[in-house]
């Protein structure tokens, strides 16, 4: 069956998802899986459409030493065990730089352009590009599409995407890019169905997962975001601090003798909920803990979300709806309730029963703003973009029968 393969590659894991091309613009979910522990204890796991586990296989470290070998093994498994034959691959690519405001069909020139953004996202961009390159080598005629986390925010005004630093740095790429754009774009696409009265209005979307950010949307378009030059800015996250005085970084390097690499490691891996609690980055564990530090970390998280919500509401000139999404936003009844309470000054009133049932509408009838829970689906967004781009370019081959 013709399918679109979606690839989301990190440093030690590759997530993949396959969608069958069911009709002119229809995509049918087939398989979701991931290869974890690349180079250490590789493990391939996947689930089918009914949610049941269809594979759980371990490998020797030398069998899967890197991201490309992980993807090739997963691709072989999809083809041989499930007769899934990708006719195109859509990739999540964290950085599209200042120019890409939409997905793009990958060519050698595009790949060279995307390489230039490696310094802007050194931890993520190389891992995103490695599988594109290896698939291009192995299957040179298989179309590949790069979908960017930054693209949805590219319409921001200059006052939004500048830092107040000397102008030449802006030209060098030091800008507030914003991330989680594929998630926000998916939510914007769902809003007319879930919240028709708000879809064209002023909406703040809170993507609260291990990475967390918020987006101000006007008429379904991003006008501001809490994330900036990197995915460190804005809200506190599982292991990242969010907004921090740059003086702290200077202090750590100059006064405490930390190397830039050590500071980077700390900022990406040791801060946020994990750093504050000293227990875990996982909200489930913090909610279950009786340790006061766990409670403090969650208090901090709620406080900062409320502060940034106020900032984005100001950018929008008011608020019509607030949407929760991603792992925490979709699942934590108690954090949603606490955040909604903090939005009381904007007229938010929660329907506790609807919140306990995970919505989608969780605002009470007398609420001045709509409160919603909308599960995100970045992979479907990537698959849709990939299919649309191929159809536009009329490059969709029939029964290529090969994949990664």
Catalytic center residues: 149
Rule CB under 6 A: is residue 284 a binding residue for ligand ADP? yes
Size of the residue set binding ligand ADP (CB under 6 A): 12
CB of 169 vs ligand ADP, minimal distance in Å: 29
CB of 99 vs ligand ADP, minimal distance in Å: 26
Q: Which stretch binds ligand ADP (CB under 6 A): 23-31, 108-116, 204-212, 356-364?
A: 204-212
Rule CB under 6 A: is residue 209 a binding residue for ligand ADP? yes
Rule CB under 6 A: is residue 327 a binding residue for ligand ADP? yes
Closer CB to ligand ADP, 113 or 282, in the complex = 282
Q: Are 147 and 182 in contact (CB under 8 A)?
A: yes
3-state secondary structure the chain: CEEEEEEEECCCCEEEEEEEECCCCCEEEEEEEEEECCCCCCEEEEECCCCCEEEEEECCCCCCCCHHHHHHHHHHHHHHHHCCEEEEEEEEECCCCCCCCCCEECCHHHHHHHHCCHHHCCCCHHHHHHHHHHHHHHCCCCCEEEEECCHHHCCCCHHHHCCCCCCHHHHCCCCCCCCCHHHHHHHHHHHHHHCCCCCCCEEEEEEECCCEEEEEEECCEEEEECCCCCCCCCCCCCCCCCCCCHHHHHHHHHCCCCCHHHHHHHHHHCCHHHHHHCCCCCHHHHHHCCCHHHHHHHHHHHHHHHHHHHHHHHHHCCCCEEEEEHHHHHHCHHHHHHHHHHHHHHCCCECHHHHHCCCCECECCCCCCEEEECCCCHHHHHHHHHHHHHHHHCCCCCCCCCCC
CA 90 to chain centre: 15
Q: Which stretch binds ligand ADP (CB under 6 A): 90-98, 108-116, 279-287, 345-353?
A: 279-287
Closer CB to ligand ADP, 308 or 336, in the complex = 336
Q: Which stretch binds ligand ADP (CB under 6 A): 37-45, 107-115, 209-217, 240-248?
A: 209-217
Rounded to whole angstroms, the Cα distance separating 401 from 98 reads 36
Closer CB to ligand ADP, 68 or 238, in the complex = 238
Closer CB to ligand ADP, 182 or 306, in the complex = 182
Closer CB to ligand ADP, 89 or 235, in the complex = 235
CB of 331 vs ligand ADP, minimal distance in Å: 3
CB of 304 vs ligand ADP, minimal distance in Å: 15
CB of 280 vs ligand ADP, minimal distance in Å: 8
CB of 325 vs ligand ADP, minimal distance in Å: 8
Of 222-251, binders to ligand ADP (CB under 6 A) are 238
For residue 51, the tally of other CB atoms under 10 A from its CB is 7
Q: Which stretch binds ligand ADP (CB under 6 A): 37-45, 206-214, 309-317, 347-355?
A: 206-214
Closer CB to ligand ADP, 34 or 367, in the complex = 34
Closer CB to ligand ADP, 88 or 231, in the complex = 231
Rounded to whole angstroms, the Cα distance separating 228 from 248 reads 18
Q: Which stretch binds ligand ADP (CB under 6 A): 91-99, 219-227, 261-269, 322-330?
A: 322-330
Of 25-64, binders to ligand ADP (CB under 6 A) are none
Out of 9, 283, 312, 369, the residue judged to bind ligand ADP by CB under 6 A = 283
CB of 6 vs ligand ADP, minimal distance in Å: 14
Rule CB under 6 A: is residue 211 a binding residue for ligand ADP? yes
Rule CB under 6 A: is residue 332 a binding residue for ligand ADP? yes
Q: Are 33 and 52 in contact (CB under 8 A)?
A: no
Binding site for ligand ADP (CB under 6 A): 209-211, 238, 282-284, 326-328, 331-332
């Amino acid at each position: 069956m013709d399918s679109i393969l979606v690839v989301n590659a990190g440093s030690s894991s590759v997530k993949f998802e396959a969608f069958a091309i069911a009709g002119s613009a229809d995509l049918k979910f087939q398989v979701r899986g991931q290869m974890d522990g690349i180079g250490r204890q590789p493990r391939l796991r996947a689930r089918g459409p009914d949610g049941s586990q269809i594979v759980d296989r371990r490998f020797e470290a030398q069998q899967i030493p890197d991201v490309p070998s992980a993807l090739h093994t997963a691709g072989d498994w999809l083809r041989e065990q499930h007769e899934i034959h990708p006719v195109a691959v859509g990739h999540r690519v964290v950085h599209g730089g200042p120019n890409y405001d939409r997905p793009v069909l990958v060519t050698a020139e595009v790949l060279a352009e995307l390489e230039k953004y490696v310094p802007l996202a050194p931890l993520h961009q190389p891992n995103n590009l490695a599988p594109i390159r290896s698939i291009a080598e192995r299957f040179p005629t298989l179309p590949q599409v790069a979908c960017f986390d930054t693209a949805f925010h590219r319409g921001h005004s200059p006052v939004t995407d500048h830092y107040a630093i000397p102008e030449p740095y802006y030209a060098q790429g030091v800008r507030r890019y914003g991330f989680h754009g594929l998630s926000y774009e998916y939510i914007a696409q769902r809003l007319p169905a879930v919240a028709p009265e708000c879809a064209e209005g002023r909406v703040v979307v809170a993507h609260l997962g291990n990475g967390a950010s918020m987006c101000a949307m006007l008429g379904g378009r991003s006008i501001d975001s809490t994330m900036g030059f990197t995915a460190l800015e804005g809200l506190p996250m599982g292991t990242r601090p969010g907004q921090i005085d740059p003086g702290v970084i200077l202090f750590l390097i100059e006064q405490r003798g930390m190397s830039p690499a050590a500071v980077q490691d700390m900022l990406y891996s040791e801060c946020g909920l994990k750093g504050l609690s000293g227990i875990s980055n996982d909200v489930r564990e913090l909610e279950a803990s009786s340790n006061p530090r766990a409670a403090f970390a969650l208090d901090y998280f709620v406080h900062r979300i409320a502060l940034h919500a106020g900032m984005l509401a100001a950018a929008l000139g008011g608020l019509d709806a607030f949407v929760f999404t991603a792992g925490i936003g979709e699942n934590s009844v108690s954090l949603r309730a606490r955040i909604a309470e903090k939005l009381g000054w904007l007229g938010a009133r929660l329907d506790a029963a609807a919140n306990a049932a995970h919505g989608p509408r969780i605002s009470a009838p007398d609420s001045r703003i709509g409160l919603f829970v909308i599960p995100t689906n970045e992979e479907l967004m990537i698959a849709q973009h990939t299919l649309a781009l191929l159809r536009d370019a009329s490059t969709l081959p029939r029964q290529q029968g090969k994949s990664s």
